[in-house]
Structure 1
Amino acid sequence: MPVTSVENSRPAPTAREGALLAGLDLHKAFGLTHALAGATLDVLPGELVAVLGTSGSGKSTLLHCLAGLTRPDAGTVHYRGEDLWAGSDAARSALRRSEFGFVFQFGQLVPELTLLENTALPLRLNGLRRRAAEQRAGEWLARLDIGELAGKRPGELSGGQGQRAAVARALVTEPSVVFADEPTGALDSLQGERVMGLLSSAARESGAAVVLITHDMRVAAYADREVVVRDGRTADGGRLL
């Protein structure tokens, strides 16, 4: 009589009703290293989800798969009910320019551009005229308390100021989802608290969902829900997903 393994007896993962974004049973290997081994994560509109895990657990790979940056080897990613990876590269690029926003650990601002130009860049790439793009960018810089620094370049700023500019750039297109990968990882605790407070409040005001990668419990405390990634698998509140 064949033996049914515990792994094979697990029910197929499903997304919560009304999920805006969902990655189900995601697998991804880099050579012999299995970064994801059946990870599942969904996000509701306006929800802030913290993804926790040690270095190498697979949390950044999970974010990259959800954001259309890295194609999973198996599993599905759905955004607004559509298979994200069934479309073209051009379609995913368009999503990243308009409906997805990104904040990375070191900001990744363009050093030759001013803060105003950096913040307006996603709008300009979407075809908005310069004056209109920079007006909207200036409004976001002001909302994040760095409007007076609009003419400065990244090299003239503190780390916290640069990260606030990165948050403004992520939100300027009014995205539906913001992906934040260790957004406070390069900051001291005071600056990190400041950036997270601004990110969470600004995202809630704009109605954006946030997928937040962190290993810091103080940062995770800003989230509505915490998901832990361990050995490429996900658990929510101790429940394996």
Structure 2
Amino acid sequence: MSHAIPSEAPATGHLSDAPPLLYGVDLHKAFGPSKALDGASLHVRAGEVVAVMGPSGSGKSTLMHCLAGILRADSGRVVYRDDDLTTMSDAHRSALRRTEFGFIFQFGQLVPELSCLENVALALRLGGARQRAAEARAAEWLEHLEVADVAAKRPGEISGGQGQRVAVARALVTGPSVVFADEPTGALDSWNGEKVMGLLTTVARRTATAVLLVTHDARVAAYSDREVVVRDGRTREPV
């Protein structure tokens, strides 16, 4: 895990040559009689952006939640590095989400009572960082995401596009290995959506951060290295 923001992408070779950083194999998940996942599989490598696409109700958000350790699959395996999330304790999975994973949601979900700077710093504070150091690092990320001018403002005082860039800064400030982005541009107009995606994918590739991106928008998926389609709880990659 690294907090650095390199100015150039690292020379990591071809992504297809690298082993998966995170993968799920033959995942099944049901909610009562309804099957959300029916043998889904997916992998992502460091520095790779994978778009998970599919119609509403196809199971793509459930797949992301299982891969992130938020939900426990009924069967199958989810492996991050050498750790199997499906057999991991709740406490261990919670710690993993706090230290190794970052999350971006459709509506940002920033804390309304905190300033934008405090929202980004909060992720570091929860990990034990001192306030001054956390806020200094948060300020760097706000500048990198081109929203340094809103640092002192609260989420209700800024635009949706600015708020989502603050949310991206919050997801990346801890130096996660994997970022899970669930419809991150769904509440934005096309210009702001493209701005957010451009910044997110550029920074992710520079820092070798894997990104799993749930979207139904082909324009958003175009920023990915690879697409995986989920339909009826199963996965396939377009030819």
Shared fold (TM-score, shorter chain, > 0.5): yes
Do the aligned partners of 2:47 and 2:206 also contact (CA within 8 Å) in 1? no
Unaligned 5+ segments in structure 2 are 1-16
Residue 37 of structure 1: how far off its partner (Å): 0.4
Counterparts of 2:36 and 2:43, CA distance in 1: 18
Counterparts of 1:116 and 1:158, CA distance in 2: 15
Residue 205 of structure 1: how far off its partner (Å): 1.5
Residue 165 of structure 1: how far off its partner (Å): 0.4
SS, match of residue 35 in structure 2:
strand
Q: Deviations over 1:51-107 (max 9, x none)?
A: 000110000000000000001111110000220122211111111111100000000
Counterparts of 1:27 and 1:234, CA distance in 2: 12
Unaligned 5+ segments in structure 1 are 1-15
Counterparts of 2:25 and 2:135, CA distance in 1: 38
Counterparts of 1:145 and 1:96, CA distance in 2: 26
Residue aligning to 2:4: none
Residue aligning to 1:147: 148
Aligned residue pair count: 223
With normalisation by structure 1, the TM-score equals: 0.91
Greater Rg by CA: 1
Residue 17 of structure 1: how far off its partner (Å): 6.4
Is the counterpart of residue 185 in structure 1 residue 186 in structure 2? Answer: yes
Do the aligned partners of 1:26 and 1:75 also contact (CA within 8 Å) in 2? yes
With normalisation by structure 2, the TM-score equals: 0.91
Matched letter for residue 29 of structure 2: K
Residue aligning to 2:122: 121
Aligned runs of 1:1-241 on 2, under 5 Å?
Answer: 18-238=19-239
Do the aligned partners of 1:20 and 1:81 also contact (CA within 8 Å) in 2? no
Percent identity at matched positions?
A: 69
SS, match of residue 85 in structure 1:
coil
Any runs of at least 4 consecutive aligned residues in structure 1 with deviations exceeding 3 A, and if so which? none
Range that drifts further, 198-207 or 111-120: 198-207
Range that drifts further, 113-122 or 84-93: 84-93
Q: Which has the higher contact order (CA 8 A, sep 6+)?
A: 2
Counterparts of 1:78 and 1:87, CA distance in 2: 10
